[in-house]
Amino acid sequence: MTEKVKDFYGDYSTLQVPPEERRSTLNLFMVYMGVLAVVAAIFAGSGLAMMYDAGTMLTVAILGNIVLGIIGALTAYPGGVCRANAYMLLRYPLGRVGAMIGGLIIAGISCGILWFAVETWLFGLTTSLIFPDNWLTSIAVASIWGGILMMTTAYIGYKGIGIISYLTVPFWYVLCLIGFFAALDHTGIGINAMWSLGKNVAPIGAGVTYVIGVYAAGCIITPDVSRYGIKKWSGSVAWFIHVTIFMTVLLFIGGIMTLATGAPNVIAAIAAIGLGAGALLLAILGQWTTNDNNLWSGSMAFVNVFPNFTRRTWVLILGTIGTVIAGVWAGFWGMSLDPFINFGTLLGCFVPPVGGVLIADFYIFRRYVLGIKNAEERYKFGPGTKYGTINVPGMLALIISGFVGWLTTLPEYSFGAPALNSLILSIVLYLLFIVPMHKAGVKYEVGVWIEKETGF
């Protein structure tokens, strides 16, 4: 009988998930859907409504989500094969210290602190719109007590996240559909007339990058959930279906509600048609099922960098920081969507390259250059495993491609979709750097890091 793995930090933050902890494909799908069941997704639709007409908005949403579906499925599969989270997998294409940096970029800072702060701010914004004349429901104050509420299931861990997803996800999506049809009915706009709403004021590439940026961090951290799947492919299938279909639906619903009512954002639109209680439920349920996952993933990223504290301790630390940021954010920007749009665009440039180097290393370099055909043998973990401290090609590809992606968001250097530019460039650069160095016998990893029993 196999000895049970000792989980030092909680939720196997630095260890492979053992067989007895694995879950069904449906379970993974519901957890991913819980992450997606968030006001930010339909708020993002409001952002698209400011840039496009209804038809173009749908096209942009579909294109962006197909890209997210493919990237997320590709990054989820190594997690399902190796039973390891994103921060463990990155030890190979980025090196042990490089993985710490990459983990902080995609989850520790972007999810665990900043994205958590964004979602908490949106919660405060929603509450303030519904109950505008009470200091307790002002944006800043509601952001603070809302953030405290959202730490609970993240503190419990994967089991808590799974339970809340099963309970709230179906109800949440029903509320979204009710709001969509109520907006059309309230304004007297039929389905056919709906397609004439809005106007195009932005290039397609900008919208695609925006869509990718909204969910880019979640796309790259898919292994955090897929490692729990019974089947190796469970996470990939669950991810692709949920993002290509349901993310597109949410973006479209949010955009149409904004265009139909003329409200500045989707929550204001719901309030305008008399569904204030529904808007509050959307805020509470949506932010809860997503922000606990943001904080959960962020806590694991920090454990992989600073093992002085357990995952639960990091939940409390990061949640507190994110909540304070949300309160300050609310004080400076109030109800403006500009920081939200800018933040999504920035993530769309710098997060995809992290997934790009993982894809290039796992699927191409180790399969075709190193000749490791069996996927389960490409990445090894456990006490005594040796990693490079820094994988030079990986870090160079990450930095250069992220910068180039950001550069192409500027009008004078505009080209294609910046998020795709940075993703594709990271894959190409990684291979251009590492393959010749390997063939020439040049050492491309600096230093050696040996894994301990704790997984660190």
User: What pLDDT is stored for residue 2 in this prediction?
Assistant: 42
226 within 8 A of 80, measured Cβ to Cβ: yes
The torsion defined by the Cα of 15, 18, 23 and 24, in degrees rounded to 10, comes to: 110
Average pLDDT of span 296-321: 85
- pLDDT, tens digit, for every residue of 359-400? 999 999 999 999 999 999 999 999 999 999 999 999 999 999
147 contacts: CB under 8 Å, gap ≥ 6: 116, 120, 123, 291, 319, 322, 323, 326
Greater confidence (37 vs 154) lies with 154
In degrees and rounded to multiples of 5, residue 384 shows phi and psi of 95, -10
- What is the CB neighbour count within 10 angstroms for residue 166? 15
Helices 54-82 and 352-359, packing angle to 10 deg: 50
More confident residue, 152 or 345: 152
**Cβ neighbours of residue 257 under 8 Å, at least 6 residues apart?**
42, 45, 46, 179, 180, 183, 263, 266, 269, 270
Cβ neighbours of residue 211 closer than 8 Å, sequence gap 6 or more:
44, 48, 60, 61, 63, 64, 65, 68, 251
> What number of residues does the chain have?
456
Could you tell me the pLDDT band of residue 1, with boundaries at 50, 70 and 90? very low
For the segment 250-261, the average pLDDT, to the nearest whole number, is 86
Considering only 18-32, 126-140, 308-322, 415-429, which range has the smallest mean pLDDT? 126-140
- How far apart CA 335 and CA 87 sit, in angstroms, is 34
Compute the mean pLDDT over every residue in the chain, rounded to the nearest whole number. 84
CB atoms within 10 A of CB 288: 26
**Range 10-37 average pLDDT:** 88
CA–CA gap between residue 282 and residue 181 (Å, rounded): 16
- Closest to 267 in 3D by CA, of 38, 57, 61, 443: 38
User: Could you count the other beta carbons within 10 Å of the beta carbon of residue 185?
Assistant: 12
Burial readout 38-48 (b: 16 or more C-beta within 10 A, e: otherwise): bbbbbbbbbbb
Would you tell me which CATH number, out of the four given (3.40.190.10, 3.60.15.10, 1.10.4160.10, 1.10.357.10), belongs to the domain 19-450?
1.10.4160.10
Cβ 40 vs Cβ 210: under 8 Å:
no
Percentage of the residues of the chain whose pLDDT score is greater than 90: 35
* R_g of the chain computed on alpha carbons: 21
Per-residue model confidence (pLDDT) at position 40 = 66
CA distance 89 to 107: 14
Query: How far apart, in whole angstroms, are the C-alpha atoms of residue 102 and residue 111?
Result: 12
Average pLDDT over residues 91-110: 83
Predicted pLDDT at 92: 96
Find out whether 420 and 208 touch, Cβ atoms under 8 Å: yes
**How confident is the model over 412-434, as a mean pLDDT?**
88
pLDDT of res. 278:
61
pLDDT tens digit string along 49-70? Answer: 889 999 999 999 999 999 899 9
Would the pLDDT of 180 be above 70?
yes
279 pLDDT tier (thresholds 50, 70, 90): low
Task: Please tell me the predicted confidence (pLDDT) of residue 343.
Answer: 64
Q: Which pLDDT band, with edges at 50, 70 and 90, does 160 fall under?
A: confident
The whole-angstrom separation of Cα 107 and Cα 354 is 11
Above 80 in pLDDT, residue 336? no
pLDDT at 84 (0 to 100): 95
**Confidence band, pLDDT 50/70/90 cuts, at residue 79:** very high
pLDDT, position 209? 79
Please report, for the chain, how many H helices and E strands are present, in that order: 21, 2
Does residue 108 surpass a pLDDT of 70? no
How much is the pLDDT for 5? 62
219-233: average pLDDT? 92
Predicted local confidence at residue 267, as pLDDT: 65
How distant is the alpha carbon of residue 351 from its chain centre? 9
Q: Distance (Å, rounded) from C-alpha 295 to C-alpha 308?
A: 18
11 φ/ψ angles, rounded to the nearest 5 degrees: 55, 30
Confidence (pLDDT) at 364: 97
What are the tokens at 117?
């702060």
pLDDT beyond 50 at 335? yes
Question: Looking at residue 146, what is its pLDDT?
Answer: 83
